[in-house]
Structure 1
Amino acid sequence: MNRILFTYIRLGLVLLAMVVCPSISYSQYAFNIPSRETSRVIEYNSIWVEVSGKLALCSHSEKGNINLTVGGGKAPYTFKWNTLETSQNRTNLNAGTYTVWITDSEGKVHEQKIVIQPPFPLILNPVVKKDATCGSGADGYAKISVKIGRNDYEPNSPDYQVTWSNGLKNVWEADNLEPGVYTVTVADKYNCDTSVSFEIKSASEGIQVSKTIENISCSSDSNGKISLNVTGGQPPYTYKWNTGATTKDLSNLSAGTYQVQIQDSKGCSFQSAYTISASSTITLSETILQPSCQGNSNGEIKVNVSGGKAPYTYLWNTGETTASAKNLGSGTFSVKITDASGCQVEKQFSLTNESNLQIEILDNRPVSCSGNADGGISLGVKGAKGKIKVSWTDSPSDQLQRKDLKAGVYTVLVSDESGCSVSKTIEVVETQSLTARIESALDVDCAEGTVEGVAWVSIQGGKEPYQITWSTGSENSREISFNKSGTLKVTVKDALGCVTETETKVDFPNTNTQGSRLDFQYRKLSISSEPEVQVKEEIVFESEIAPEFIAWEWNFGDGQKSSDKDPIHIFEKPGTYEVSLTGFDMLGCSSIEKNTINVLAPTEMLVIPNAFSPNGDGLNDTFIPKLRGISSFTLEVFNTWGEKLFTTTSLESKGWDGTYKGQLSLPGNYLYKISFITPDGISQTKTGGITLIR
């Protein structure tokens, strides 16, 4: 050992002499020992050299090598070494000085000396360390240093490279070390290195922890558990998790990493991290075939599933249960995928038509006047795929703008490169046709007996302003007056030059109904010796109306009216009624005549004939009592043997006609029975005989 150390010291002194002593000459070229073996560059005016390779040895068993990069001068170059080698680069070299002469094609010579450094000892001082207080603590300490090394003797040397087994770099001291074995490696400027190992012990037994972990099946679940079993140290223990929990065990955990610090009663602590894992997340990729045209259902979505646990089940919102959904139109579609563990993932897709071809009507210009050809159509196309083709049913093609069109219906067909097509029908109309209508009225003052005719023109369509010319000579006035019958004409021309004409006949009356005869009388419809008007009796109102009256109206005073000339009216209740007759002439003027009628309540009356002769002469042909003031009755007829021949309960009945079962009854005596109810509500019965005369 002493001999080896002496050899290293002697080599070091020799190297030191080489570095410090200026007796070694490098001709007119100066160079410095580089900080790295591949960075030595020699420059000169004509030929220049860059030297790289392994230019220092870490041990006597290693060999060096020299690589030359040459420039300048004029290639090609020849090489001659002091070892008689002629190659450009050298390998398998021992430590020493190597000289090379480089000659270019013009005979210029460059001399280069290169040193392969011999091994140099790298010796570390003993490690200075302090053990940790607890087996689970992290308060140990260690310090290293170099006793002998190349970097300390060669000028302009960089720092040593220091690498600790716990990840620290280029530091000589380390604290917060846990109990355990550590290794530190120190390398010099030529990457020659040496290592030292040491152990940080603990003053007392550390905390030992074993764990039981329950992972989750689905990445979206939160049912994981971490259970700890803690021994060692000095109980009791305290727990502090990175979630904020202070319990020994954790539950309801999602996938992730959970860190805990455990401390015993002496202050020794233990730190660890535990991972809750889940099966890989189910992921989807899809292949989508968009539907071709608007309204088509030839789209398709195919999903590729990875992650989770196979096999998978599929459920689309269309009801399909395979990995593909077919025959789809544009819209939104979703699929829910469940793996063998019951984990699910859902994804939504949006399909749009490759071609959403649509035709827009940008302008539909109507024809100005009837019969003209100045209409126009301007179209726009959107949603097309590629170039479009345009055709019209009336022959023109590749035109989206049309002009000089007559009123009518035009159909266009547009198709694109996807093969989709759409058509639209457009109607070119005439500007709302210019029409005119003459209306007239009579302005009548019934009190003064004066009449004035007024006519006006109603104009529709066309475009204002209008030029108006009347046959009376009046211009640009919509209303005129007239005072005689005849034909009125008007011509209307609008701002577009469209013209329309119209005419109408007007009547101007020359009659005046003032003083014309208007009167009426009334009488009973049935002949009666009683002049009073009774309730339920038919009253005829007979009018005297002059021809000048063209309409009339009756008001009977009981809420009923009539427009008959000679109406028949029945008063349903007793009372005094004012009956009026109003006559209207052709000018709308009216005259009125009034009369008062006193209607009496009916008195009870029952008149029974004692004979009748059914011979068809219209007189006394049936047997029927005369009734008045009776609300209901029943008539029965019997022969002398008590056989019933006839019965009726109708107040409108014509009575017995002298037949029985379709046969004529013999002349003679018969019996009757009449039951009735008086206006006072009293029921009465009358019987007697009747003679049938033939």
Structure 2
Amino acid sequence: MKKIVLIIVVLLYSIHSIAQEGVTPEEKKKYGYYMPLFEIDKKESSIYFDGKKEDIISAEIERPYGSQFLPIDVKEVPAWINISVDITGPRVGFKKIFKIINEDASPYGAYLVTTGNKRSGIFSHDGEGFAFSSIKYIVSFRYQMIPLHTLTFHRIYSSFLPSDIRIPLFAKDGFSSKLYAYEYQLINDPSHKWVKMEYGLGHSNLNVCAKDIFEDSKFPDIYGEQINLRVVSYDLGKAEKDELVSWSDPLRFTILPSGPEIINKTITPPKCDGETGSITLAFSRKLIGDPNEYETNKKKLDDKDCSYLGETLSFSIKNHTLNNAINYKNDTTKILLTTNTLTLSDIPFREGTNYYEVQLFGKYYYKSSSGSRKSISLYTDGEKQSFRFSVTMPSALTATATSANITCHGANNGSITFNIAGGTPPYSYSIAKNSAPFSPYTPFSDSSNKITNLAAGNYNVHIQDANGCSVKDGMGNPINFRFTITEPPALSIKAGTESITHITTPNANDGAYNATLEGGNGNTYTGTLTKIGSTYQSQQIGNVFNFQGLSAGDYRFVAADSKGCTTQTTFTIKDYVPMQVTITVTQPISCHSANPDPNDKDENLNGIGDKNENGTLSASVTGGLGNYKYQWFQQKNGTPIKMENKQEPILKNCSEGIYSLQVKDFSNNVVTQTVQLKFPEKLNIRVEAPLMQCSQPNSGTAKVFVTGGNPPYHYRWSNGDTTNSISNLTAGKYLITVTDHNGCSTQTQVILKFPDAIEVQPIVQHNRCYGVADGSISLKISGGKGAITIQWFDSTGKPITEHLSADKKQLTDLTAGTYKVVLSDESDCPTVTELIEVKPAAEIPFSFPDEITLCQGDYYLYTVSDTDFTQCSWVDSTGKEVATDNTFSATLAGVYTLKAIYKGSCQITKQFTVKQKNETFEMDFLAATTSYYDYTLKLIDISKRIDSEQWLLPEGVEMISQQNREAEIRFPKEGVYTIGLQGTLGGCTKRVYKKFWTEKDRIGIGNSDDFHKRISVLVVPNPAGRGTAPYIKVEMTEKSPINVRIFNILGQELFNKDFPAEEHFKILTNSLTLSAGDYIVIVQADKDIIAAKMVIN
């Protein structure tokens, strides 16, 4: 096989000496370590390596160029180099073969090629002087090229080989995967044998642990052993493939048990100055060992008498910033023996940003195969067994503050400004005024850290940063900043000093306003009185203002103190106005007269309840000249009637009606005002009492709803409750009395009861046709509360979801069976369960079998009842109709189907199979006795050959006994009966039928109380031998005449003879000419009859 590589037009074939790590200059000289370098520019050429080792070097030549060169070992120096040059250019098709023999067997250097057009080029690395447009070079080599291996590892993993944690080893990459194999050597092995590793084959990068190399049985005895590892290449040309051709310098490791790895970590730095942080670590597993055994032995782990077997683990937390360590003394082994999660708490991280490293240290105590207890350090140098992190701890939070008081009374413009440093911004505050609780922390609105819009008062303020750290005093306690924000007294008009003088005559300007100021900042005030379009000057003396000559209108008085704080008031100077009367209902009537109030009284006995006539009317008068006089009137049938002694502005004890008030002023000006006083809305109550819960006899509730009257309402139930709703009641009657705010009352009665029970009446339609799902159930439901939920279940308890009506009250298409329906309403009363049976239709009585086999020449008559089956159609397997009445005589083999209407409505289909065999079956039977229905009839099977037999009896005929191809039957009454015999022979079936006329035993046979068997019959072979007729031996229990008859199998009587009374009979049949076959012998003695079979050979 050839490997092809592209190179530039100018072929530079040079071999550079590249040193392999650990190889001396003498070894280089001896073995000649070289590297072939091929470069590609833009012209297409090819190099073929035809040596027997070409598979070893092919992959290396195909590497992308420009990367590192691979060290190889040239084992076979070539004896010749063939260079074939194809040049395409000025002389197309030029080809010249050069054969260069190097006497020193050194294949590197520059070769000079001269072409026919005298253009030349030197095969060098830079290509200068070359003038051809296209050249193809073919160079043949015969080299064995061997890779020079190195094996290294990262020193961060130390020189230990852990049992379970894989460490990475790096071989020189780029060679064919076939050239990578690995070997190990145990230092304590006296043979110093290198052992081939199956693990890592074909990989230049090896992740390996001790358990990848050794079986489990080697542990823990192998702990502490030193091992060498190296990468090797075997001679791929050898059949055995185990001859080393290259190997690296070995790496030496010490085998240690692996400690657990850290799979997750959470660093919780301190939030505030002076606090500690924590580190939570999740390990790949718990420590090995018994926690109780460790607790007992932890102070003597390295003593000889210590029995603890397992691991220990401790931690080192190093501060790389300060180059010191945090000593963590807690017993971490105890925790990690029971869980794989550990929290290193109360870690004193340093202020500022510091960089830390967590390292693990551990030991493993174990028992060697010799039984001695040993210990060794755990491997904890893995990539997941230490980690670095940084923690930034904030500086202490400090603050100072100043406050600003309020300028004007009630202005709420006080403030507190803080100067805050340290901690973690942004900052927030919590403030409390006077004795109020502290507010939730609120961030400052800007960097000024100022609290604004404060009212006067005493304030306490707490400051905290983004981490919730507080400003603390020297003792470490949070500082409470205290402030008092003050305000000046309110600027106001002194009470009792303000007076207004209105206009006393029409169109005059004799109004006046007087006011005295107090409060504010200092004792200097200014004041201005304005009216639309006018400003008035005051006759001011100090803080007293007096404005005169005011006309009617609206005025605004504005006063200010020395700091600009103001107060103002508005007033009206009234012009002279006419008298006006206003009547106000100051006390509405308490109750409507239609309320059935049981508590109302009639003190004045006028027939009106006191609560129906307790209204009050109040009159107010404006305008006029004062000195008013009053007179009240009440309308009666539309006419005002003067009310005696009612001459005050207030009229009391009024009932519903129309009232008028006449008012006169000082000048006898009269004004009359009318008002209508009405009853309040009638007090109405409505009670809701839902049905009670069956499961809770005290579940009764009632709630009253009230309209009208005057809220709020007061309630009193007959059971003493005073709320609008009552609960936890038993069934019964309850009285509710409602009283409104005016004391009006009304009452009603409510009855609490349970919901009516659900009643269900099922209506069942049973199956009409056998095997057809035509049954149905309908439910007639009454009672219950609210919506009724219906659930159906079949006989197995499976819910039924199909064939239901929309309201689930009807279930159709049912087969026979018991169905369950469960009904529940919206109450918690017990569900109602009904088991409803749908009865099956009677199975269709087919008198013929599903399959029958006919003997040759026989038939089978299939029959169905002509009263039950109508529209019969018998069809064969082709669909051809072969019969249409209630019988079908089958003579041919085939599959037949009966289609009919059963009992007028059920469509039935019955399939049956007729088979046929070549057997000829002669079958018959005889009756051995007379057929009286009041005693038994003996039947005898006289078939020549038969495999099995079955007597076919019509309904009512009783089988008394059957054995030895004989049967005794009894008829129920007089009549004609068809008796059949079904037999099988060789797999085919045949039936024969005979009719018997049965009558009553009119001569008394069998009626005697002493009826019994007295006859025994024995057919004895003739001593004369084969072919002679046997004789019949009859034995009687007492002397009696007998009659003997002989029949053949066709039922023909061959012999009939009476014999006089004897006890012993020997009857010869020599007079009969009987051929070979079976015969029946019947002997009758008075009341007794017996039959026997006689066989003549």
Normalised by the size of structure 2, how large is the TM-score? 0.20
With normalisation by structure 1, the TM-score equals 0.28
